[in-house]
Structure 1
Amino acid sequence: MYYKDDFNLTFKEESAFYRYLDDVEKRAEWFRAQSKDLKVEAVTKDSICSPIGNIGLEYLKEDTLKNSGLMIKTPDRSCYLGISAVKSLKGRARIDGKALAELDKETLAYILNECLKVSKGKSLLRFCEGKVRAVLSGDEKDYSIMSMPEVYTIAGAYIYSDFETAAFKSGCADHNLVNATWELRDQRLNESYQELLGRYGKTFNGELSASVRISTSDVGSSGANIFYTVSVNDQYIILGETLKVRHKNCKGTEDFNQNMASIFEYYKAAVQEVLQLCDIWVNHPANAMIGVMKQAGFSKKLIAETVERYRASAGEQPCSAYEIYCGICDVISIVRQQETNERGLLLLEEKVAACVNRRWHELDIPGEIKY
Structure 2
Amino acid sequence: MYYKDDFNVTFKEESAFYRYLDDVEKRAEWFRAQSKDLKVEAVTKDSICSPIGNINLEYLKEDTLKNSGLMIKTPDRSCYLGISAVKSLKGRARIDGKALAELDKETLAYILNECLKVSKGKSLLRFCEGKVRAVLSGDEKDYSIMSMPEVYTIAGAYIYSDFETAAFKSGCADHNLVNATWELRDQRLNESYQELLGRYGKTFNGELSASVRISTSDVGSSGANIFYTVSANDQYIILGETLKVRHKNCKGTEDFNQNMASIFEYYKAAVQEVLQLCDIWVNHPANAMIGVMKQAGFSKKLIAETVERYRASAGEQPCSAYEIYCGICDVISIARQQETNERGLLLLEEKVAACVNRRWHELDIPGEIKY
Aligned residue pairs, count = 371
C-alpha distance in structure 2 between counterparts of 1:248 and 1:238, whole Å:
28
Deviation track 1:252-308 (CA, whole Å, cap 9, x = no partner) reads 000000000000000000000000000000011001001100110111111110000
Secondary structure at the residue paired with 1:85? Answer: helix
Secondary structure at the residue paired with 1:179? Answer: strand
Deviation track 1:200-229 (CA, whole Å, cap 9, x = no partner) reads 000011110000000000000000000000
C-alpha distance in structure 1 between counterparts of 2:267 and 2:204, whole Å:
18
Unaligned runs of 5+ in 2: none
C-alpha distance in structure 1 between counterparts of 2:246 and 2:297, whole Å:
25
C-alpha distance in structure 2 between counterparts of 1:287 and 1:5, whole Å:
39
Deviation track 1:127-172 (CA, whole Å, cap 9, x = no partner) reads 0000000000000000000000000000000000000000000000
Unaligned runs of 5+ in 1: none
> Offset at 1:235?
0.2
Secondary structure at the residue paired with 2:183? Answer: strand
C-alpha distance in structure 2 between counterparts of 1:131 and 1:366, whole Å:
52
Secondary structure at the residue paired with 1:205? Answer: coil
C-alpha distance in structure 1 between counterparts of 2:43 and 2:108, whole Å:
12
Deviation track 1:44-94 (CA, whole Å, cap 9, x = no partner) reads 000000000100100100000000000000000000000000000000000
Secondary structure at the residue paired with 1:124? Answer: strand
Structure 2 residue aligned with 1:273: 273
C-alpha distance in structure 2 between counterparts of 1:224 and 1:179, whole Å:
10
> Offset at 1:242?
0.2
C-alpha distance in structure 2 between counterparts of 1:272 and 1:252, whole Å:
26
> Offset at 1:363?
0.5
Secondary structure at the residue paired with 1:9? Answer: strand
> Offset at 1:244?
0.1
C-alpha distance in structure 2 between counterparts of 1:240 and 1:202, whole Å:
21
Q: TM-score, normalised by structure 2?
A: 1.00
Moved over 2 A (4+): none
C-alpha distance in structure 2 between counterparts of 1:299 and 1:340, whole Å:
13
C-alpha distance in structure 2 between counterparts of 1:365 and 1:85, whole Å:
42
C-alpha distance in structure 2 between counterparts of 1:300 and 1:178, whole Å:
28
**Paired-residue identity, %:** 99
C-alpha distance in structure 1 between counterparts of 2:133 and 2:293, whole Å:
32
Within-5 A mapping of 1:148-163: 148-163=148-163
- Structural RMSD (CA): 0.3
C-alpha distance in structure 2 between counterparts of 1:142 and 1:94, whole Å:
14
Secondary structure at the residue paired with 1:195? Answer: helix
C-alpha distance in structure 2 between counterparts of 1:309 and 1:341, whole Å:
22
Secondary structure at the residue paired with 2:10? Answer: strand
* Deviates further, 297-306 or 151-160: 297-306
Secondary structure at the residue paired with 2:258? Answer: helix
> Offset at 1:325?
0.1
Structure 2 residue aligned with 1:204: 204
Secondary structure at the residue paired with 2:210? Answer: strand
Secondary structure at the residue paired with 2:52? Answer: coil
Structure 2 residue aligned with 1:20: 20
Secondary structure at the residue paired with 1:190? Answer: helix
Structure 2 residue aligned with 1:81: 81
Q: TM-score, normalised by structure 1?
A: 1.00
